[in-house]
Amino acid sequence: MPLPPRSQLSSPSIPALARAPPPARAPPRISHLRRHRDPRGLRGRQTSSALLRVPRGCVSASSPPRGSAHTRVPQPHPQDAGQDHEPPYEISVQEEVTARLHFVKFENTYIEACLDFIKDHLVNTETKVIQATGGGAYKFKDLIEEKLQLKVDKEDVMTCLIKGCNFVLKNIPHEAFVYQKGSSPEFRFQTNHPSVFPYLLVSIGSGVSIVKVETEDRFEWIGGSSIGGGTFWGLGALLTKTKKFDELLHLASRGQHANVDTLVQDIYGGAHQTLGLSGNLIASSFGKSATADTEFSKEDLAKSLLHMISNDIGQLACLYAKLHCLDRVYFGGFFIRGHPVTMRTITYSINFFSKGEVQALFLRHEGYLGAIGAFLKGAEQDNPNQYSWEENYAGSSGLMSSSPELCPTQRARSGAFDLLEMDRLERPLVNLPLLLDPSSYVPDTVDLTDDALARKYWLTCFEEALDGVVKRAVASQPGSVDAAERAEKFRQKYWNKLQTLRHQPFAYGALTVRSLLDTREHCLNEFNFPDPYSKVKQKDNGVALKCFQRVIHSLDALGWEERQLALVKGLLAGNVFDWGAKAVSDVLESDPQFGFEEAKRKLQERPWLVDSYSKWLQRLKGPPHKCALIFADNSGVDVILGVFPFVRELLSRGTEVILACNSGPALNDVTYSESLIVAERIAAMDPVVRAALREGRLLLVQTGSSSPCLDLSRLDEGLAVLVRERGADLVVIEGMGRAVHTNYHAALRCESLKLAVIKNSWLAERLGGRLFSVIFKYEVPAE
Partner 1 sequence: MLKLGGGGGGGGQDWACSVAGTGLRGEEAAFEVARLGDPRKAGCRGPGWGCAGIPDSAPGVGMLQAGAGEQARGGQGVEEVGAPAGGGEERPARHPPAPALRLLNRKPQGGSGEIKTPENDLQRGRLSRAPRAAPPAPGMGDHGGQPERSAPHAPGTPAGAGAAAVNGVLHNGFHPPPIQPPHLCSRSLPGGGDAAPRRLPLQPELQPQPPPPLHDSPAKKCRLRRRMDSGRKNRPPFPWFGMDIGGTLVKLVYFEPKDITAEEEQEEVENLKSIRKYLTSNTAYGKTGIRDVHLELKNLTMCGRKGNLHFIRFPSCAMHRFIQMGSEKNFSSLHTTLCATGGGAFKFEEDFRTIADLQLHKLDELDCLIQGLLYVDSVGFNGKPECYYFENPTNPELCQKRPYCLDNPYPMLLVNMGSGVSILAVYSKDNYKRVTGTSLGGGTFLGLCCLLTGCETFEEALEMAAKGDSTNVDKLVKDIYGGDYERFGLQGSAVASSFGNMMSKEKRDSISKEDLARATLVTITNNIGSIARMCALNENIDRVVFVGNFLRINMVSMKLLAYAMDFWSKGQLKALFLEHEGYFGAVGALLELFKMTDEQ
- Minimal distance in Å, beta carbon 139 to partner 1? 10
Contact 722, 65 (CB under 8 A): yes
Binding status of residue 276 toward partner 1 by CB under 8 A: yes
Residue number with CB closer to partner 1 (154 or 491): 154
CA dist., res. 480 & res. 473, Å (int): 11
What single string gives the DSSP state of each residue in 559-609? -HHHHHHHHHHHHHHHHH--TTSHHHHHHHHH-TT--HHHHHHHSPPSSPS
- Minimal distance in Å, beta carbon 143 to partner 1? 17
- Minimal distance in Å, beta carbon 243 to partner 1? 6
CA proximity to 99, closest of 50, 169, 37, 48? 37
CA dist., res. 363 & res. 420, Å (int): 13
Secondary structure (H, E, C), 615-636: HHHHHHCCCCCCEEEEECCECC
CA proximity to 365, closest of 136, 102, 134? 102
With a CB cutoff of 8 Å and minimum separation 6, the contacts of 394 are 421, 493, 497, 519, 522, 523, 525, 526
- Minimal distance in Å, beta carbon 132 to partner 1? 15
CA dist., res. 72 & res. 56, Å (int): 11
Binding status of residue 519 toward partner 1 by CB under 8 A: no
Residue number with CB closer to partner 1 (195 or 291): 291
Binding status of residue 311 toward partner 1 by CB under 8 A: yes
Of the candidates 122, 158, 358, 430, which one interacts with partner 1 according to CB under 8 A?
158
Binding status of residue 24 toward partner 1 by CB under 8 A: no
Of the candidates 113, 319, 603, 767, which one interacts with partner 1 according to CB under 8 A?
319
CA dist., res. 7 & res. 4, Å (int): 8
Binding status of residue 138 toward partner 1 by CB under 8 A: yes
Residue number with CB closer to partner 1 (151 or 243): 243
Binding status of residue 322 toward partner 1 by CB under 8 A: yes
CA dist., res. 331 & res. 334, Å (int): 10
Stretch that binds partner 1, among 6-14, 368-376, 507-515, 563-571 (CB under 8 A): 6-14
Question: What secondary structure letter does DSSP report for 110?
Answer: G
Stretch that binds partner 1, among 91-99, 233-241, 587-595, 626-634 (CB under 8 A): 233-241
CA dist., res. 267 & res. 279, Å (int): 9
CA dist., res. 625 & res. 655, Å (int): 5
Of the candidates 24, 59, 129, 275, which one interacts with partner 1 according to CB under 8 A?
275
Dihedral angle, C-alpha 373, 379, 380, 386, nearest 10 °: -100
Contact 443, 748 (CB under 8 A): no
Binding status of residue 594 toward partner 1 by CB under 8 A: no
Of the candidates 48, 226, 614, 652, which one interacts with partner 1 according to CB under 8 A?
226
Binding status of residue 227 toward partner 1 by CB under 8 A: yes
What's CA 566's distance to the chain center, in Å? Answer: 37
Stretch that binds partner 1, among 1-9, 111-119, 627-635, 739-747 (CB under 8 A): 1-9
Of the candidates 131, 191, 192, 231, which one interacts with partner 1 according to CB under 8 A?
231
Binding status of residue 278 toward partner 1 by CB under 8 A: no
Question: Which one-letter amino acid corresponds to residue 202?
Answer: V
CA proximity to 652, closest of 620, 674, 684, 677? 620
Of the candidates 197, 268, 495, 762, which one interacts with partner 1 according to CB under 8 A?
268
* C-alpha distances in Å from residue 198, one per residue of 183, 211, 428, 693: 29, 10, 22, 44
Residue number with CB closer to partner 1 (234 or 696): 234
Write the binding mask 325 to 364 for partner 1: x where contact by CB under 8 A, - elsewhere. ----------------------------x-----------
Coil, strand, or helix at residue 208?
Answer: strand
CA dist., res. 347 & res. 194, Å (int): 24
Residue number with CB closer to partner 1 (82 or 276): 276
How many other C-beta atoms are found inside a 10 Å radius of the C-beta of residue 519? 23
- Minimal distance in Å, beta carbon 287 to partner 1? 3
Q: How many residues bind partner 1 (CB under 8 A)?
A: 70
- Minimal distance in Å, beta carbon 470 to partner 1? 49
Of the candidates 78, 82, 269, 622, which one interacts with partner 1 according to CB under 8 A?
269
Coil, strand, or helix at residue 104?
Answer: strand
Binding status of residue 160 toward partner 1 by CB under 8 A: no
Binding status of residue 79 toward partner 1 by CB under 8 A: no
Of the candidates 13, 191, 203, 225, which one interacts with partner 1 according to CB under 8 A?
225
How do beta strands 262-263 and 282-284 pair?
Answer: antiparallel
Residue number with CB closer to partner 1 (220 or 561): 220
Residue number with CB closer to partner 1 (339 or 472): 339
Binding status of residue 7 toward partner 1 by CB under 8 A: yes
Binding status of residue 238 toward partner 1 by CB under 8 A: yes
CA dist., res. 597 & res. 613, Å (int): 21
CA dist., res. 753 & res. 616, Å (int): 9
Binding status of residue 234 toward partner 1 by CB under 8 A: yes
CA proximity to 157, closest of 364, 13, 371, 334? 371
- Minimal distance in Å, beta carbon 140 to partner 1? 14
Of the candidates 107, 116, 153, 156, which one interacts with partner 1 according to CB under 8 A?
156
- Minimal distance in Å, beta carbon 613 to partner 1? 58
Contact 513, 454 (CB under 8 A): no
Of the candidates 49, 171, 206, 585, which one interacts with partner 1 according to CB under 8 A?
206
CA dist., res. 574 & res. 634, Å (int): 8
How do beta strands 199-204 and 328-332 pair?
Answer: parallel
Residues forming contacts to partner 1 in the complex (CB under 8 A) are: 1-5, 7, 9-10, 135, 138, 156, 158-159, 205-207, 209, 221, 223, 225-231, 233-235, 237-239, 243, 260-262, 264, 266-270, 272, 274-277, 281-291, 296, 301, 308, 311-312, 315-316, 319-320, 322-323, 353
